[in-house]
Structure 1
């Protein structure tokens, strides 16, 4: 099973069962359903956001992805990053769909649906655009230890998910359809919920056996929000560099004034 083997959590042992695997592509409502699961009591569902909040995971996931998709290194074993959670959603977990379905036979599987054309347009206008952006490349070079690490991890995940030609619309859509067909072939119908986030609570709660919350179903991480978050992250890198340059100039001027007056 090609999954990360160590993490900052490696001294812990699983105390809760894996209950939910959300195996739909990113940009199909995986962030909204993660929030919905939190509202239902699944407080620790792993998501790409979990990786960016804990960058120590990046090297471990990268090693697992390299082993499975790019023939680099040896396959790693389950037992590490994200696998003390009650649920998994989004990248990088969906890259290991077969492994996860096999490893957790009691977990219920949710396949978040979206029309392939609508999915591609959303992906291309958010993640795809960011991964192609010249300003993002420059920000990654200016801040390699944090922004750059996340940026190149995103490119690694994208390459594994969509292939080297994944930027092409037809290729990306074909990969999308193939993934959904593969998950359907892996999971028994009684264990699988094919679900569109806009449906709301009823079918989701019936499938999971949970009571419906009084609150509205969440809607998070829309295109506008993602673009604003990325712009803020890039802006923060550029501002940090600008402040460093200004500080260096002031220090240099101070040293020059003291030594040359």
Structure 2
């Protein structure tokens, strides 16, 4: 299951991103990952689906987000990004300033939605459930190491929203503010940016990257229904861990009671 099971890669080890899709999650990042890996020759692609199933990677990304020393942070980033050929979604979009400096030959795609309102609705319907600091998932997940580390990571991201985007919560304005951040970073490094929306399909991407347009239609992956299913799975798994943890002391209590009385 995506975001839960560890991916079984058949790709050769990469040599650093050649293309970075720098837009926010819920801007066709999973579809872009599929495109890069299966149709455009840029696999493997760094994506949160390659982070979420690994507690140690979640801890590493959290340490990166908290690390203020650029040299130290970029050394951490290299452990994840030196071995891929592309990037989309977290954690790449969060560290776009570092990645553009570290991989100056990488081409930048700014994937986005038609409006911040559209992006915000998609985010709130799906990812927000994972990111509420004291929400149901945060409590249910606490006994599962990967889920607990994911909650801890989202808490760090959430705490950095005011500094990064000038907002106190996930909001529609974030998409435009993130887009401007990407444009500003690109201008600083003299980089061209392809601004792209899912409805644009393969043609502008392939023209930008100098690739032939695949015969297959542009993929649609990680739809809302897929994420809602993952939410239910993780919630049930977390509750099962809690039940198992509570069952043992209860069983011991009743066993002792039977012996004593």
Q: TM-score range by the shorter chain?
A: 0.7 to 0.9
- Aligned to 1:77, the other structure's residue is in SS state helix
Conserved in 1, the CA contact under 8 Å of 2:20 and 2:108? yes
CA distance in 2, matches of 1:15, 1:222: 27
The match for 2:194 is 193
CA distance in 1, matches of 2:159, 2:91: 11
Displacement of 1:113 after TM fit? 1.7
The match for 1:209 is 210
CA distance in 1, matches of 2:74, 2:98: 10
The match for 2:20 is 21
Q: Cα–Cα, structure 1 residues 244 and 98, in superposed 2: closer, same or farther, change >3 Å? A: closer
TM-score (norm 2): 0.79
CA distance in 1, matches of 2:19, 2:225: 28
CA distance in 2, matches of 1:74, 1:34: 28
TM-score (norm 1): 0.79
**5 Å matches for 1:39-188?**
39=38, 40-68=40-68, 75-78=72-75, 79-114=78-113, 115-132=115-132, 134-141=135-142, 143=143, 145-161=145-161, 165-167=167-169, 169=171, 173=173, 175-187=174-186
| Long gaps (5+) in structure 1 | 1-13
Conserved in 2, the CA contact under 8 Å of 1:60 and 1:81? no
Number of equivalenced pairs: 240
- Aligned to 1:109, the other structure's residue is in SS state strand
Conserved in 2, the CA contact under 8 Å of 1:92 and 1:157? no
